Every structure is written in C-alpha cells, then in structure tokens.
Amino acid sequence: MRVPAIAANWKMFKTTHEALAYVRELGSLVKDVSGVEIIIAPPFTALATAAEAARNTAVGIAGQNMSAEKEGAFTGEISAAMLKDAGATYVILGHSERRKLYGETDASINRKVHAALAAELIPIVCVGETLEEREGGQMATVLDRQIKDGLDGLTGDQVGGLIIAYEPVWAIGTGRNATPEQADEAHRHIRTRLRQWFGAAAADACRIQYGGSVKPDNITGLIALPDVDGALVGGAGLQVTSFFEIIRGAASAAR
Ligand code: PGA
C-alpha cells in the first residue's frame, strides 16, 4: 500500500560531470525495476544537470536543504521555487548534519516544511536521536519533540504526503546500522504518534524511511519490517552499483 522510497543523499560530493554519468547509468539500470520510488539528492550545483538526465526515467530528484524564505536578500540560500525550477520534486529537511553543524532547530525545520509544501515539493523530514540520548533512555522523547515541533501546523493530508526519515545519529556514516529490532521499535513509535496527532489516514499513508549505514547487505532485513517504507542512503548511495543493489533489495521485498 505504501510504495517504499529509496533515496541517495550525495551530501557534498560529485561535480556536474560525475552526476551526469551516475544518473545516466542509474536511469538505465532501473528501467525494469518496479514497486519502489527512486530518489537522488545531488548538491545544488548538480541539481539541474541530474534532473535533466533523469527526465523520462524512474529517478526523482531531491534538494538536500532549502531556505524557508520565498526570496530576498539571503546570500547563499536557495528557495523552494528555485529547487522546483531546477527539477527537484523532493527536498531533504532537518538532516542531522544540518541540525548539528548549522544550528537548525525543530522550529526552523518546521518553517521549511511549510515552505516546501507551499511550493509543492515533497519534504523528507529527518528525525533521530544521538547516542547519548539513546543511552539516556531519551529516544522516544526526542522523536516526539522532533515530530511534534517539526510537523506543527500541518494537516493530516499534508503529513500523509510527506516522507519521514528516521536516522539515528549514531548510525550515520559510522558503519553501525540500527538492528532490525531497533529500527522496528522506532518506526512503530513514530507511526503511533502520527496516528495520535494527525489521524489514521495520515499515519497509514506517510512513508517512514530508515537511514544510517544502509548497505546492500542490510537493506532486505530493514525493508521487511512493516513500518519501514524505504531508506535514506548516504555513503552507499555514492556508487551507482551499490545504490542499485539497495534498490534491487528493496524492490524484491516490496510489499
Ligand atoms: P550513511 O548516511 O548511509 O552514510 O550512514 C545516511 C545519511 O546521512 O542520510
């Protein structure tokens, strides 16, 4: 019922030239894949090139971040309309690197989520606890705050249409992915809260990706979980072959 979404977050990697080669290859590799939504998030400079190469393929394009402002004197910022104009249909918001390194808060992320939806971009809203928070028994409290404040003011329909990425911070780029049991617990918790706060239809429709050291050899165990609706992939999404293996693993297990 929920189509799994597999996204590669390239972070600050790849020139336009590299992006073009990757997307061309991926586009032809995924020609016969069905049952999964495929997304790549290039850096801003490669967005239009990647989108152009992805045209008429099953590959969708995401921004990695954006401004909450429409336009104006905001040096270095990119608006939702600019992302759309460059060919994006999704935007990653509140990635833990943005929270940690650039001071993004649930309130600032919430403004971006509203701005993205107003521009008809699909937000991929990242949530997740740090190791200290997990070890301190704070996982549920942190997720609750990030969801409540990050999605504040949205309608059930809007929540049903977006993607949440559960990315435990201790699993990102560490090679230490959450076990299926840990992912299952967090994803079920998130879905329960969505049901309480935004209604059953929103909770049933909203896709919850897992992110954090997803690799070709752990995707099948994760995607088999009833509340895991895809993956947000960092390191293993940089090589087209390993990203394709992850897509294939998810497609073969697609419900
Ligand atoms: P990783 O990154 O797959 O390299 O752990 C995930 C992410 O940051 O979204």
Distance 64 CA to ligand 1 centre (A): 12
Q: Which atom of ligand 1 is nearest to the CA of 126?
A: 9
Using CB distances shorter than 6 Å, the residues near ligand 1 are 9, 167, 172-173, 211-214, 232-236
| DSSP string of 136-187, one letter each residue | TT-HHHHHHHHHHHHTTT--HHHHHHSEEEE--GGGTTSS-PPPHHHHHHHH
- Whether residue 235 is predicted with pLDDT greater than 70 in this model: the reply is yes
Instruction: Return the structure tokens found at 153.
Output: 């003011």
How does pLDDT run across 62-90, given as a tens digit for each residue?
999 999 999 999 999 999 999 999 999 99
* Catalytic position from the list 95, 114, 129, 133: 95
Average the pLDDT over 157-184 and give the result.
94
For a pocket test of ligand 1, which of 6, 214, 217, 218 has the largest count of ligand atoms closer than 8 A to its C-beta? 214
175 lies in which domain range? Answer: 5-254
Give residue 121's identity as a one-letter amino acid code: L
Number of domains observed in the structure of the chain: 1
| DSSP string of 51-96, one letter each residue | HHHHTTSSEEEEES---SSSSSS-TT---HHHHHHHT-SEEEES-H
Between CA 80 and CA 209 the distance in angstroms is 22
For a pocket test of ligand 1, which of 172, 215, 232, 239 has the largest count of ligand atoms closer than 8 A to its C-beta? 172
Task: For residue 245, report the phi and psi dihedrals to the nearest 5 degrees.
Answer: -60, -40
Distance 211 CA to ligand 1 centre (A): 6
3-state secondary structure of 231: strand
CATH number at residue 85: 3.20.20.70
How does pLDDT run across 4-61, given as a tens digit for each residue?
999 999 999 999 999 999 999 999 999 999 999 999 999 999 999 999 999 999 999 9
